[in-house]
Structure 1
Amino acid sequence: MIQDFRLPDLGEGLPEAEIVAWLVSEGDTVALNQTIAEVETAKAVVELPSAYAGTVTKLHAAAGDVVEVGSVLISYDLGGEDSPAPAPATETDQVEEPSQAEPNLVGYGAAPRGSARPQRRARSGAGRPAASDTAVLEAAPHDAIQVSDPERPIERPRSTPPVRLLAKQLGIDLALVEATGANGVISRTDVEAYAERVGVAPVGSLAVAEPSIEPEPVAAFAATPGERTTRTPIRGVRKHTADAMVRSAFTAPHVTTFLTVDVTATTELIASLKADRALSEHKIGVMAVAAKAVCLALAHHPGLNSRWDEAAGEIVEHHYVNLGIAAATGRGLVVPNIRDAQDLALVELADAIRALAETARSGKTPPADMMGGTFSITNVGVFGVDAGTPILNPGEAGILALGAVRRQPWEHKGEIALRDVMTLALSFDHRLVDGEQGSRFLVDVADVLREPGRAMLLR
């Protein structure tokens, strides 16, 4: 039996992906969950696992082709198998879109044939009903249902992760959205139609026209006589970054404030830690100390750790820090984040930053790691730059740029001495943060870098 496999939604709600490389050829025998290709979305390079076990009969796209989600990607001879493998069970309870016959793959493969999909049940514990209770389950708005039988599986509106993310961004309760497709699955179109009906603005809509950054067709210019240029299509990570920066610059009113600080005590601390054999492999640097300082300061300045929810008309204050670390890669700028960075010690932050940067440079950052950030840091100092005016990562209230550490004359204890000095630049969303709040936050970060021992006094 011949079975087509279509490019699945990779969990980002993005409409297309580029084939970076095929890892199988026509005629190859492929196992279930074997990686068949590397594809690049607008956020990262993703390894695509096979949803079937069989023989490859045809590759429908070549390396370098951009393929729309839902298009046939590869065909298999299943050797008599008559149905596709079931989708894997996950905590996000993923469901395929009506138009997509294959499992919705989000960085993992399909479940082996015959594995049972576990049912989601109410769990006992803090904030949840016990098995003997009959109550309304207290969870996210679209999860709140009447539970009359403790052993009955909990039902939720059926949708894919990107559709649920879209509904969350728009402040829409999926329980109110009618599914128009087959199998009762709520699609992106259903959410957008509901948003239009109730008057909710689409995500990323602007009061002013955005400059177009769509690439002009390369073919239209390829034969221009005497042209000495190189033209590269705008797509992948570069296109996503450009879209995000334009949206951020025209949506959030940016303000940037600067502060130059003597960080000699920090550089001396770093040198002493590197000299410690027990810590030398952890690569603790200025970035890690700054990350710790940011986490400590955010606890006292929650406005910098919040977001503007236009749809709900609310300011959402986060009680955790998902710290974004801007990383320059060959494919463009990406900003993956360290989850719950506020709970990490200095050594753990250093290890997390190092691992994150290495993964980003290899192009293997999981898309999920670039979502949900609450505050970001960018280190322009590594390029020899003293300062800059960083643009906010969309949805965040602040971003801190670290300048180069320079050895220069500086006032110290009433005299002029050679000191290690760097400039900090903080950009913030003026809708969420006043100038006073932004300035006090920056001073608190600088105080820790000036005297890292002060971190012992903060919590």
Structure 2
Amino acid sequence: MTTMTDSSVREFKMPDVGEGLTEAEILKWYVEPGDTVTDGQVVCEVETAKAAVELPIPYDGVVRALHFPEGSTVDVGTSIIAVGVGDGAAAAAEPVQEAVADTPATTEAEEPKPEGRQPVLVGYGVSTSSTRRRPRKGAKDPAAAQEVSAAIQAEMNGHGPATPSAPSAGDRPLAKPPVRKLAKDLGVDLATVVPSGPDGVITREDVHAAVAPAPGEASGAAPAAVAPAPSPAGPASYDTARETRVPVKGVRRATAAAMVGSAFTAPHVTEFVTVDVTRTMKLVEELKQDKEYTGLRVNPLLLISKALLVAIRRNPEVNASWDEAAQEIVVKHYVNLGIAAATPRGLIVPNIKDAQAQTLPQLAGSLGELVSTAREGRTSPAAMQGGTVTITNVGVFGVDTGTPILNPGESAILAVGAIKLQPWVHKGKVKPRQVTTLALSFDHRLVDGELGSKVLADVAAVLEQPKRLISWA
């Protein structure tokens, strides 16, 4: 993971933070050239196709250079930071800082970093107190710094804020990547734009102001339309007057590639069944009162998960994968149960390892931990590897059901629709009952119609008569 380039510098390379991942995006730098770092200190946060994780440095030293700015996508194995170590570390720090002053990593202003811990790279022991936040940068040269300082002092003395001036020809304008992209699209030279942001940073409004005609200026064209405010899609997106464009990367990019690959590789078949789950809902309420489940997440998903595990035990051939290279069907003797989770970063599918071996209380604990970890953005890449079957609960959005696409490498995925009170024929009479619709998609190369139907029918049977959890055990 590290390489000695000379006796006093170590190059820290982008590690494989998942299992076979090839690249990661640098989200945040927590250090800058000249900073002292210690073994185990987090230096940056990166986002892979599966999760956001923090990278700790594995040795002591002084940061010599950051090779990539925030927002860069870097291949695994590429050096991302140089650290001076040994006796020459401190002496080497200052010259390198000057040498990289013109790179995007050291000229673009940063927003304040969010407080609190983020996901930690699996395999590193990082202490909470070791994380250092990257300070806000000031102007590049003493003259610019004095100008900003004077403006602040004037405002404090009641003279009002000083009007910022356009950057001189020798300076690289300060602007974030989305703003630079906007300027490029609109044909605006940032060197001619008067900045209004903190520390002389050029904003979107500054760029649009440079495009619009000045008051009283003769023009045969209509004034340029003002772009809408930045969208909630994130800092990587950028706006025009009529559109918002969001770069496809991270979780969204991985999800898109996986779904396209799955849809056009595995021949999908989806079957449906509508089932009375009134007894299951009653059992959920009873378990909530059971002392053994105190503090555990008890909901319909718990019993649906157990029902699927029972169906797999009765029909083990469904828990398999297709090995194209070997032309073999690989039947798994374990179940890594995936649960599709909608998070602020997008849809992820962490899985519960060896779920078939867990008791109902253990499964409740695993589901609760999986959901809370996903919502907090702390799901590790390892937790999303090796799934065998998946459950997606679209019912939480009020949807009756769907036709889910298989996760690559898996044989089946169960969609659970909304549980609603509906008229149902029960014991010869129409009565209001709790009813839901289940949909099972499976890979028709290794699961034929009979096997898929048996699995879906078994899941429905358990949910209709949950006592089968005992009688079919």
Task: Establish whether TM, by shorter chain, passes 0.5.
Answer: yes
Equivalent in the alignment of 1:350: 364
Q: Is the 8 A contact 1:33 1:110 kept in 2?
A: yes
Residue 46 of structure 1 deviates from its aligned partner by: 1.4
In structure 2, the residue matched to 1:97 is: none
Aligned twin of 1:13: 20
Q: Deviations over 1:22-59 (max 9, x none)?
A: 23343332221222221100111112121221122332
Aligned match for 2:80, one of 73, 76, 96: 73
Cα distance in 2 between the residues matched to 1:81 and 1:15: 33
1:287-334 residue CA offsets vs partner (Å, 9 max, x unmatched):
111111111110121222001111011111011101111111112111
Q: How many Å separate the matches in 2 of 1:380 and 1:298?
A: 21
Q: Give the match for residue 253 of structure 1.
A: 267
CA distance in 1, matches of 2:264, 2:352: 27
Contact 1:49–1:108 (Cα < 8 Å) also in 2: no
1:448 is aligned to: 462
- Give the residue type in structure 2 aligned to 1:335: V
1:334 is the counterpart of 2:348: yes
Structure 1 residues 222 and 350: CA distance shift in structure 2, 3 A? farther
Q: Which runs of 5+ in 2 are unaligned?
A: 1-7, 90-119, 127-179, 188-223, 226-240
Query: 1:130-279 alignment to 2 at 5 Å?
Result: 222-223=185-186, 227-279=241-293
Q: Identify if the C-alpha distance between structure 1 residues 451 and 288 changes in structure 2 by more than 3 Å, giving closer, same or farther.
A: same
TM-score (norm 2): 0.66
Report the RMSD for the aligned CA atoms in angstroms: 2.4
1:41-52 matched pairs, under 5 angstroms: 41-52=48-59
Q: Residue 317 of structure 2 aligns with which residue?
A: 303
Equivalent AA in structure 1 for residue 123 of structure 2: Y
**How far, CA to CA, are the matches of 2:184 and 2:417 in structure 1?**
40
Distance 1:348 1:50, change over 3 A: same
CA-CA distance at 1:106 after TM superposition: 6.7
1:440–1:81 CA distance, 2 compared to 1 (3 A)? farther
Displacement of 1:110 after TM fit? 9.0
Q: Using the alignment, how far apart are the partners of 2:125 and 2:83 within structure 1? A: 15
Match of 1:316 in 2: 330
8 Å CA contact retained: 2:341, 2:348: yes
Tell me which structure has the larger Cα radius of gyration.
Answer: 2
| 2:295 counterpart of 1:281 | yes
* Post-superposition offset of 1:220: 11
TM-superposition CA deviations, 1:256-290 (whole Å, max 9, x none): 00001110111111111112344242121111111
The answer as to whether partners of 2:23 and 2:48 remain within 8 angstroms in 1 is yes
**2:40 is aligned with 1:33:** yes
The residue aligned with 1:108 is 123
SS of the residue 1:452 aligns to: coil
Secondary structure of residue in 1 paired with 2:186:
coil
TM-score scaled by length of structure 1 = 0.68
Greater share of helix: 2
Partner residue in 2 for 1:56: 63
Which whole-Å CA distance do the structure 2 matches of 1:220 and 1:292 have between them? 55
State the AA in 2 paired with 1:243: A
1:189-218 residue CA offsets vs partner (Å, 9 max, x unmatched): xxxxxxxxxxxxxxxxxxxxxxxxxxxx97
Instruction: Note the 1:351-390 alignment, pairs <5 A.
Output: 351-390=365-404
1:2 to 2, 5, 9: 9
Count residues in correspondence: 332
Residue identity matched to 2:242: R
Contact 2:292–2:361, Cα closer than 8 Å, also in 1 = no
Separation in structure 2 between the aligned mates of residue 26 and residue 274 of structure 1, nearest angstrom: 55
- Over 3 Å counting, the alpha-carbon distance change for 1:288 and 1:69 in structure 2 is same
- Matching residue of 2:106: none
* Distance change in 2, residues 1:220/1:377 (3 Å): farther
**1:18 to partner: Cα distance:** 1.1
Distance in 2 separating the partners of 1:293 and 1:360: 23
Q: 1:436 aligns with which of 440, 444, 450?
A: 450
Is 1:418 aligned to 2:432, yes or no? yes
Q: Verify the 8 A CA contact 1:11 1:106 in the aligned structure 2.
A: no
Decide whether the 8 Å contact of 1:33 with 1:108 is kept in 2. no
Task: Give the residue type in structure 1 aligned to 2:426.
Answer: H
